[in-house]
A and B are shown apart, each in its own frame.
Chain A
């Protein structure tokens, strides 16, 4: 299971990298979102998968590792905040410059 998920995360990283390297701002933002998916999967995998019960006391004796879950929970929220703000940023820049091509933004001064 761990190997399978790790490979899945690797594929997601590949996709994310490819999207981030593209010329369109939207693709780049999508890439960052996918990259955070991959990161979450990886953090989860690192704690070991499916070895025990739900981390709630009373539900069985041997719980899965709760620490990665807490970390991921924090990370999901932060990732969401970043995605939201970059989307709005892209929207605003598009409004001002009428393009979402990163190459055309090159050398744009904000004046």
Chain B
């Protein structure tokens, strides 16, 4: 197991240097072989476990865990990874930036392996996001195309938002259980099923799984991700990344599986996705888009089987629940099957695209004669997907029907009324699956050969290109004839991971190629019959798709949301960011009024007490009144000179007040500063235009006046309240020691120069800076536009 880990680390380093596909090919191939060696011991029930410290203080360790489930996924990732690498060697020409391609691909592979092997929730999340990022890079591999960039953005937004909610779910799990380790959570699961966070955590984690696995209605990113190079589509969007969500569901089934919510969400949404995907796949004209919708559909099918399988956990272990565990078994089985045939189909489509220059089924036709090997592989893949014998898809589809029929007879979770929907929808979805499989085979390879519409004159692909899909097609047939080998060595250990409490011997399901005449077989016959009829007469019923116009689709909804979000944010910002100082000041003052005034009223902090006041003489009254009058008059001053003089009247008034208040230094400074300021104002006004009347409507003036009065009133009230509510005695008694401590008699000056000299120093710095600023402003002038050149 440590070796696996080491290679994971090493391959990430490799990713920096590898630039030729052959070298890259060795990595997944050797990993595959390495994993194979663990198979027998896993079948005996052993698991492997290794841990490295990463962030011990947060209980986050790089814990890797190899059990049946992660083994199954690990084999898929490395095995199909090796084949895809092989295929891409022949698919991509050396003109492409191969270095980037293989770096992203290996990064993706490593993070995917990280997802399936991680035992720590946080590490799992890290790898999960790495798969999102690397798939983003791979989808936009041809980044000069607009559609690639859009598809990449879409998939990024959807999968990452799902990943975020998953993170929230993980954190909730951590809050409940106190551990990040999945195994420990599973072993202690009975303690927190009743907690309030349990269902929210489940919903959030499911949201992550559904977005990643393109379940309804988050499936919209998958067809757009088809702008990626075909090896990427084959690898990411059929075999691995979209299965990360499935892996998550399977991995968390022991935790959440007993809940009705889980059953309905996983089973119900999966089933509906299956129907929706297959229904919409039929209308596609682009082969890759068709395959994308079919992937959505098949993923939904796997998902719904896991949902049905989770019922077994609700019932607890007994002989009769073993029937429901078979659904999970079928899910795992179909997971493998889907990876094989869908990988092969994508590669085949890539070959066709490569050879004739189009993937549009309206232009294709009659390729049977020129591409016989491709045709054979396509047939195997398609008919396996349609669920026909002698291919592996037949077996898993029969098991799917078995599960759907069983669940309809179940009577918890209000299945007694809704249960019949399961086999019905499953069957309808399968009919459409059959129809689009027919389209893939017959529209592409039969009919007239429209050579004038094709870019290249097609011919059979090279052997190297056909190698990888050929191997997958052989697997498709091989699994049909020897399903139990797969079942015993890979699927059964994986089942024990999903149902840890059930002994493994109970979980093995013998898969028989032919299991007698039963309802499931009749359903398959019905599919074939109805499918052929629908295909033959497709032009009569295709009008039904007009019921789903493009502007009502989820794609359109997504586009509208994205577009409107941008526009609304923009217009909101434009609305309040006016660029006009007054508006911002209004916001600030309004906030002040609301916050300060609100608190004043809320705490009833009004305090008005004049008994403690010192007496006022007539002369002081007169000065205060004159100043008030001057202050108010400034507002109404018509000329700037009046305003300036009134201002200096205020300043000198304050100087007089300072005299009355026994502050000689202040009075002195105030007089001088006021004089200089007045001079400055006068000088500045000499260069500035005459004081204009305030333009603008009177309403904005009265708003200003109202705000000003409010601010003034609040200010006054606070000041009055504070004056009368003194909490502590003043510390100024200390400064009476000025003579002993500082050797000066003027207390104010000793404070400035001795006790608090830091203030004075920095104040001098302020003056210095202001002086430099004034000098700079007046002396240095920016060059005129035309002089700058």
Contact = CB atoms under 8 A, between A and B. Distances in A.
Interface of A: 1-15, 17-24, 26-28, 30, 33-34, 37-38, 40-42, 44-58, 63-67, 69-70, 72-74, 76-78, 80-85, 87-92, 94-96, 99-103, 105-107, 110-111
Nearest to A26: B688
Contacts of A42: 719
Given A18-B635, A45-B719, A70 B589 contact: no
B509 interface: no
Nearest to B717: A10
B748 A8 contact: no
Given A23-B694, A94-B688, A106 B777 contact: no
Interface magnitude class on chain B: 35 or more
B754 to A, nearest CB: 11
A1 B582 contact: no
A63 B647 CA distance: 31
B676 A17 contact: no
Contacts of A14: 631, 708-709, 711-713
Interface in B680-734: 680-681, 684-685, 687-689, 691-692, 694-696, 704-705, 707-709, 711-713, 715-716, 719-720, 722-723, 730-732
Contacts of B33: none
A57 B610 CA distance: 30
Contacts of A57: 736, 738-739, 745-747
B613 A2 contact: yes
Interface stretch (B60-68, B87-95, B293-301, B762-770): B762-770
A50 B767 contact: no
B665 A24 contact: no
Contacts of B730: 47, 65, 67
Given A40-B670, A49-B661, A57-B746, 4 more contacts: A13-B715, A46-B722, A89-B777, A100-B689
Q: Which label, helix, strand, loop or mixed, suits the secondary structure of the A interface?
A: helix
Given A21-B585, A52-B662, A73-B666, A30 B716 contact: no
Given A10-B715, A55-B662, A66-B735, A78 B681 contact: no
B662 A81 contact: no
B651 interface: yes
14 contacts: A2-B613, A15-B708, A21-B704, A34-B634, A37-B651, A50-B662, A64-B663, A67-B730, A67-B731, A77-B767, A81-B766, A84-B770, A94-B687, A111-B785
B34 interface: no
**Which of B657, B664, B685, B769 has most A Cβ within 10 Å?**
B657
A3 B631 CA distance: 17
Contact of A8 (B628, B634, B739): B628
Interface stretch (B116-124, B223-231, B510-518, B573-581): B573-581
B586 interface: yes
B550 interface: no
Contact of A3 (B610, B632, B736, B752): B610
A12 B580 CA distance: 24
A73 B665 contact: yes
Nearest to A77: B763
Contact of B624 (A5, A34, A90): A5
Contacts of A89: 777
A90 B684 contact: yes
Interface stretch (B411-419, B421-429, B614-622): B614-622
Interface of B: 578-582, 585-586, 589, 610, 612-616, 620-621, 624, 627-628, 631-632, 634-635, 640, 643-644, 647, 650-651, 654, 657-658, 660-666, 669-670, 673, 676-677, 680-681, 684-685, 687-689, 691-692, 694-696, 704-705, 707-709, 711-713, 715-716, 719-720, 722-723, 730-732, 735-736, 738-739, 745-748, 751-752, 756, 759-760, 763, 766-767, 769-770, 773-774, 777-778, 782, 785
A22 B694 contact: yes
B586 A78 contact: no
Contacts of B614: 1-2, 48-51
A63 B705 CA distance: 41
A58 B747 CA distance: 11
A91 B680 CA distance: 11
Q: Which label, helix, strand, loop or mixed, suits the secondary structure of the B interface?
A: helix
Contacts of B680: 83-84, 87
Given A17-B711, A77-B669, A50 B650 contact: no
Sorted nearest first, the 8 A-B pairs with minimum C-beta distance are A14-B712, A10-B716, A81-B770, A17-B708, A18-B708, A70-B751, A66-B747, A55-B747
Contacts of B632: 11, 15
Contacts of B736: 57, 63
Contacts of A96: 782
A30 B620 CA distance: 25
A42 B685 CA distance: 29
B689 to A, nearest CB: 6
A102 to B, nearest CB: 5
B683 to A, nearest CB: 8
Contacts of B621: 4
B688 A100 contact: yes
Contacts of A23: 582, 694-696
B711 A84 contact: no
A55 to B, nearest CB: 4
B412 to A, nearest CB: 66
A94 B748 contact: no
B659 to A, nearest CB: 10
Contacts of A87: 680-681, 684
A60 to B, nearest CB: 10
Nearest to A31: B634
Given A18-B704, A18-B705, A80-B673, A44 B663 contact: yes
B472 to A, nearest CB: 61
Given A67-B735, A67-B751, A88-B773, A50 B716 contact: no
B579 A107 contact: yes
Contacts of A91: 684, 687-688, 777-778
Contact of B580 (A1, A17, A41, A103): A103
**Which of B650, B665, B715, B752 has most A Cβ within 10 Å?**
B715
Contacts of A107: 579
A64 to B, nearest CB: 5
B745 A17 contact: no
